Structure 1
């Protein structure tokens, strides 16, 4: 297992993985996706992390470090788009990625790390709790735009 930040050439594998969120959920290769990708890669606070098996991208999550004027000016981290290929689940990829993201957030000086999941599956919620996240400290709301 290799865990690292993605590189420019990892976009096709990442989009292929994102299709497992929902068909049509991933941006299509081409102009718009590549422009978005360049912007993400240029943003020092935006970290797309990936796990590879045999050179194939099999799991990913995004860590965004948000500058902040509270908590002594310490930033906080947001985790999004946690996904593991359907054929590679229950093998530790997402756990390794979340640990890597936490270490990266800590090295950036973050005072907390937050994530939300759209899943209501008890196994998914237990997975995040086992990874060190709790569902009792905050209440999350979402407004779709």
Structure 2
């Protein structure tokens, strides 16, 4: 079952995010932020739950733009499926769920970023229709003392 994350999912989300970023010293998943995202009409954390355990997640943000009339676009981040269950269609179902929502509100496109070293993820995204040749992504991480 796919649903929006709740504050009580914090430890399961942390477990999955740790699989995504195993060496991160900044990883910090807090209930307050999950609640804030859940209450924001443009931001979603979707989770795939099976047998009362969260085994996959992604974050979807809906962005407004002026380029295509009243159409918005979606940005997907933090796609992660439990490493012991990858290849079972869980990621596909999460991505399809996000796409259906974007279509339902008439988004012009969906964009996503993936770490340049996650080759298996790139193959997965390409297999479901995401084209890595049309754009080049840039990131600038902001540092704070």
Q: Is this a same-fold pair by TM over 0.5?
A: yes
Unaligned segments of structure 1, at least 5 residues? none
What is the SS of the residue equivalent to 1:73? Answer: coil
Which runs of at least 4 in structure 1 moved beyond 6 Å after TM superposition?
none
For residues 19 and 88 of structure 2, what CA distance do their matches in structure 1 show? 17
Q: For the Cα contact (< 8 Å) 1:19–1:25, is it kept in 2? A: no
Corresponding residue of 1:137: 134
TM-score by length of 2: 0.88
Does residue 1:59 correspond to 2:60, yes or no? no
Corresponding residue of 1:41: 38
Residue 121 of structure 1: CA displacement? 4.2
Distance change >3 Å, CA 93–CA 42, structure 1 → 2: same
Corresponding residue of 2:19: 20
For residues 109 and 25 of structure 1, what CA distance do their matches in structure 2 show? 35
Q: For the Cα contact (< 8 Å) 2:6–2:34, is it kept in 1? A: no
Residue 78 of structure 1: CA displacement? 0.2
Q: For the Cα contact (< 8 Å) 2:48–2:57, is it kept in 1? A: yes
Does residue 1:81 correspond to 2:82, yes or no? no
Q: For the Cα contact (< 8 Å) 2:16–2:56, is it kept in 1? A: yes
Unaligned segments of structure 2, at least 5 residues? none
Deviations 1:104-125 (A, max 9, x none): 1111221100001004344321
What is the SS of the residue equivalent to 1:132? Answer: coil
Distance change >3 Å, CA 102–CA 8, structure 1 → 2: same
For residues 106 and 87 of structure 1, what CA distance do their matches in structure 2 show? 31
Distance change >3 Å, CA 138–CA 53, structure 1 → 2: same
* Paired residues, number: 140
For residues 106 and 19 of structure 1, what CA distance do their matches in structure 2 show? 31
What is the SS of the residue equivalent to 1:72? Answer: coil
For residues 18 and 102 of structure 1, what CA distance do their matches in structure 2 show? 22
